[in-house]
Amino acid sequence: MNQEVFIPTQSKFEEILDRKISAILENRIPQIIRKANRKEYITTKEFKELTGCSHSVQQYLREENKIAFSQEGRKVFYRTIDVEKFMSERRIEAKEA
């Protein structure tokens, strides 16, 4: 079993640690803030603002059971987490150049 051992100096270790922590914080803090500030449920108007889906597209998605929703009378609500899941499932990754 061949294992390599890396023993950095204290300053090199602190530099590596600082770089990694900074990268993590840059990526995670905006996500954490968005999650902390978001509402649990959004309206059809907010769904349209967030996704760009018109009311007729939303109706189609509901009728085809493509997105979960709650309804009280004529008022429709979507859980924010369901909308995020819906969007991420349809994400198309960019091709590398």
**Span 3-20, mean pLDDT?**
92
Q: Summarize pLDDT for 33-77 with one digit per residue, the tens.
A: 878 888 899 999 999 998 999 999 999 999 999 999 999 999 999
pLDDT at position 27 = 85
What CA–CA distance (Å, rounded) separates 72 from 75?
Answer: 5
**Contacts from 55-59 at CB under 8 Å and sequence distance 24+?**
none
* Claim: this prediction has a pTM higher than 0.85: no
Buried b (16+ CB within 10 A) or exposed e, 72-94: eeeebbbbbeebeebeeeeeeee
Q: Summarize pLDDT for 73-90 with one digit per residue, the tens.
A: 999 999 999 998 999 998
pLDDT at position 96 = 82
What CA–CA distance (Å, rounded) separates 57 from 38?
Answer: 23
Per-chain mean pLDDT for the chain: 91
Cβ atoms 88, 50 nearer than 8 A? no
